Structure 1
């Protein structure tokens, strides 16, 4: 008996337990269309404050185009990073939808509180200040990886050097008897899929509940694995609407980005039952 007690290690009180994940719901195929409808309602109810998010992000996109209009790889990298970190940039749109859902006031103070509340939880071990920063960095690294991979593929396989957007259109998109564009799109889809799976509900969950990045990403993956077909439709809708916004010389993004941001909140609410996880509240008196 004494020998057994020596050989059996006692459990360490500091050993980490299993990662707590919220309950993931199963949804219908047409649910993403309802998210868009609710997102449109929230955009109208949010008024100028919602549209201001779209206007600011569209203006950033316009500035990127102005600075890198003749430098294809700089432009591609800037827009890839811009689109990949969009779920983080839309954080205050999620907060607006949550406030509308709760019947709370929607005003500039809500947006300010959303972006400043994180610094008041920086000493919390799980779900603290650096969650937003960490998640944004992860997405930025993923976008950088895509740009580097894309550059390597096109540099090796394109029939002519690609230096400007016109070169890309002429020698990749419209090139006869070359399949570089198709291969490029296929590779882009394969790389975009895990980014989408990691972020589809992660940022609204980080905003709403006191969880860390690992919990949020695992919950996001679980939502995709539980509902692969509806969320594939959701990914296609996001891509189609984003391309529509880009194709209107970025003007459409003023409306598309708030629509998708608000709809993403409703996607989170339908997909996740997070009632067992603690809510994220700013300390009293935080603006």
Structure 2
């Protein structure tokens, strides 16, 4: 859910650069947001100093540098904003928060804030192999601090859900640049002794095309509730991890595969999610987030 604030009391236009962006400083992306929400996302991250916003595809790129230390490049489809030059209101204590770099600041009343670990998976750079072993998925791989894709680790996901981070959102961008989002009001992962058994319910699709790919009891193959985690070397569901080239809570091999291979073909092994225009909608970017 987006937080609301106003940009007012100044000439905002002079601090926004149309047709410009910063290159080679990307730390994170968010799909399907407005420009205002993009700047808000940057305000809530400790390392973010500026944003490139792609208007046509509603894509927010967050940068670790500002225009005082980095030259702007021409890009007719983007809007650049230096966060330090924008005014922020109604976001509690997040203006000068001290959250760790792998956490997100969430504003509270009377100038307070809390820090939430939120991103547990990111796929957008195509520079990290997700067809990996059980120990890799257990401990995590990739690096959230760098420009790499990553999986935070099943042990960490278990601890997060045990400590109340049980609301899950899956953000996706299709290969045709259309955004998809799926939310689940309850997401809980057991420890390794349960094979990271998944409890999940409460689907909500945030775009008209997205369908439930994890709890649809009308089509049993999509019901991941109660499933154990699978990797190719520790497969709990009939070879699905090897067939889909990923690790996941598979019920069958035919629905979502956000840890699959990059590609735009409608095949089982690529990154995909179930949507209304086809069973296998291929994806070019994904992000999985947890919150309290």
Of Structure 1 and Structure 2, the greater strand share is in: 2
Q: Which of the pair has more CA radius of gyration? A: 1
Query: Which is helix-richer, 1 or 2?
Result: 1
**Under a length normalisation based on structure 2, what TM-score does the superposition of the two structures give?**
0.26
TM-score (norm 1): 0.26
